[in-house]
Amino acid sequence: MDLPSRDDSVEAAATFARDLSTSGREPEQLELAVAVVVELVEGCDQAGVTMVSPGGLETMAATSQLVTDCDQLQYELGEGPSVDTVKTHTTVLSGEIASDPRWPRWGPVVAQRYGVGSMLSMLLYTDHDSYGALNLYSGRPHAYNSEDIHVAHSLAAHLAVAVAATREIDHRGLAMVSRLVIGQAEGILIERYKMSAEQAFDWLLHISNNSNRKLVDVARELVATGTTEGLPRR
């Protein structure tokens, strides 16, 4: 099989970046990434994305159940390429998973049970944050050459930028919705209870603090019911 030239790889990475920008939501971006990395990186047989979540590490996209199972074992044992990449913020490469001394419990199990020979894990990061790792599995030992690593780095960089942009858009969207709902609640209080705008906001804030609820949740309930009944009193 003819290996792709560096020019071909660059063009493929550029196409990948454009596709990411139009995929819209993060889950679709991650699914696209794992499919593309298997296609473009010659040594890669399966791929997955480990993301940092409030509950710890979680596989958010995978090309097979093998990836999900191998990743899950990493999280349970607290060792493995993906775990190390997220912890150390570095690229982790292993050409001999079965005998790699860095993972004495994880490596032999996945080599014997799932036939994993080598693995490459790339950090997903931007200048402002890191999100997780793009993980490339191979059934062959020493599967990844310098060109593979170059292509994988490029794909991981594009994916990280896309994830960052999507999360920023989502954050701004939630903030806009929150402001809108709070404004609607203030309007109800102003019209129905003849409060000033400042008094209406103070009332919502007071209820929020006293009931240990988010301000937007208090406002959302007021907008939904059109009444203060059921809300704590000042």
| Span 126-165, pLDDT tens digits | 766 778 999 999 999 999 999 999 889 988 888 888 777 7
Asked if 216 and 179 touch (Cβ cutoff 8 Å), the reply is no
Residue ranges of domains in the chain: 6-168, 171-225
The CATH number given to 171-225 is 1.10.10
Contact 49/132 with Cβ under 8 angstroms?
yes
pTM across the whole model: 0.68
Q: Which residue has the tokens 């190390």?
A: 84
Looking at domain 6-168, does it have CATH number 3.40.50.720?
Answer: no
d(CA 37, CA 16): 10
What is the percent of the chain with per-residue pLDDT over 70, rounded to a whole number? 81
Query: CA angle, corner 16, sides to 82 and 150, nearest 5?
Result: 55
Taking CA atoms, 194 is separated from 90, 130, 190, 206, in Å, by 59, 48, 5, 17
107 Cβ neighbours under 8 A, 6+ residues apart: 80, 94, 97, 98, 99, 100
171-225 has the same fold as 6-168: no
The H or E element that residue 40 is part of is: helix 26-40
Nearest to 71 by CA among 55, 89, 52, 50: 50
Letter for the amino acid at 24? G
Comparison of pLDDT for 36 and 81, the residue scoring more: 81
Q: What is the predicted pLDDT for the residue at 14?
A: 56
